[in-house]
Amino acid sequence: MRLTPKQKHTLRVLLSWGAGIIMFFPIFWLVLTSFKTELQAISVPPLLFFEPTLENFALVQERSDYFSYAINSVITSFGATLLALLIAIPGAYAMAFWPSRFTKDILLWMLSTKMLPAVGVLMPIYLLVQKAGLLDTRTALVIIFAMINLPIVIWMLFSYFKEVPKEILESARMDGASTFDVITKLLLPLTKGGILSTALLSIVLCWNEAFWSINLTASDAGTLTALVASYSSPEGLFWAKLSAVSTLACAPIVVFGWFCQKQLVQGLTFGAVK
């Protein structure tokens, strides 16, 4: 069967909207539940129309200071991303422009960070953090988040840098520019888009990191994912409150991601794939 171009177009639009709605529905439901009272939340059949209430949000804020957790999340995810970029940029530069026989080995070695279960390295890292006196501090989270994301950040930067023709950098060097100048004045502006999307990806990943923030922080440096976790175990049945706290935890990053999604799509177009 052959479809006319018009039919094809309609089919495509229908399919994609269908997929979009299916993918988005659970999130819609989460947000909807957060505006229900606990009783409305467990009503059978589930309510689609009801009188919305803000009491869950008020309760969450009252019981645990949402903003201090949010600030921790912002600081740790931006701080860790910055730290990862600072380490990764020179490293990726060296690998991309001064390739050696080790380049491939280093790339493979980085993959091995994704081969061990996080819980398998929990104790060694916990002990390190404890010895350094950094338990329940944002510093510890910044360092650990940066380390966790370093492989993917390096990997992406490496693939962007490789796209830049060597000759451009060589000629700048011939004109007497120092390596530092070559990087800051030439390479970084040229790959700005890629670096931004790498940063974005890293921020999203840090924001969503739960394992380490649950295990290494308590009240001082807890991030939003730790806050969500704290609402789940003892209060498993208070679904409306859990929904409210989850909505609050995701909202900033989703809004942020929404504004930057074009950048993200373009960035991944190059980075993760090549």
Partner 1 sequence: MFDFSKELDLEAQRRRAAFYFLAPMIIALFCVAAWPLLRTIYFSFTDTSLTNLYGGEWIGFDNYLQRRELSSGRVIWRGTLVDPAWWNAVWNTVRFSVISVFFETVFGLGIALVLNAEFRGRGWVRAAILIPWAIPTIVSAKMWAWMLNDQFGIINDILVRIGILERGIAWTASIDTAMTAVLIVDIWKTTPFMALLCLAGLQMIPRDIYEAAKIDGVHPLKVFWKITLPLVRPALMVAVIFRMLDALRIFDLIYVLTPNSKATKTMSVISRENLIDFDKFAYGSAQSTLLFAIIAIFVSLYIWLGKVNLSGEGNQ
What are the helix and strand counts (H, E) for the chain?
Answer: 14, 0
Which span sits near partner 1 by CB under 8 A: 54-62, 103-111, 133-141, 185-193?
A: 103-111
| Residue number, 67 or 259, with CB nearest to partner 1 | 259
Question: Under rule CB under 8 A, which residues in 133-192 are in contact with partner 1?
Answer: 146-148, 150-151, 154, 158-159, 162, 179
Question: Under rule CB under 8 A, which residues in 30-49 are in contact with partner 1?
Answer: 30, 33, 41-46
Number of residues engaging partner 1 in binding (CB under 8 A) = 94
Which span sits near partner 1 by CB under 8 A: 19-27, 52-60, 62-70, 184-192?
A: 19-27
Measured CA to CA, the distance from residue 263 to residue 265 in angstroms comes to 6
Binding partner 1 (rule: CB under 8 A), the pick from 7, 38, 54, 90 is 90
| Residue number, 73 or 138, with CB nearest to partner 1 | 73
**DSSP letters for 205-252:** HHHT--HHHHHH--SSS--HHHHHHHHHSTTTT-HHHHHHHHHHHHHH
Tracing tokens 């491939």 back to the chain, one arrives at 104
Binding partner 1 (rule: CB under 8 A), the pick from 54, 109, 218, 219 is 109
Based on the shown chain and the rule CB under 8 A, indicate whether residue 7 belongs to the binding site for partner 1. Answer: no
Cβ atoms of 38 and 50 closer than 8 Å: no
Tracing tokens 């026989």 back to the chain, one arrives at 101
Question: Under rule CB under 8 A, which residues in 47-86 are in contact with partner 1?
Answer: none
Question: Under rule CB under 8 A, which residues in 200-239 are in contact with partner 1?
Answer: 204, 207-208, 210-211, 224-225, 228-229, 232, 239
Q: Is 241 exposed, middle or buried (0-12, 13-18, 19+ CB in 10 A)?
A: buried
Q: Which amino acid belongs to residue 179?
A: T
Measured CA to CA, the distance from residue 241 to residue 230 in angstroms comes to 12
Question: Under rule CB under 8 A, which residues in 236-265 are in contact with partner 1?
Answer: 239, 242-243, 246, 249-250, 253-254, 257-258, 261-262, 264-265
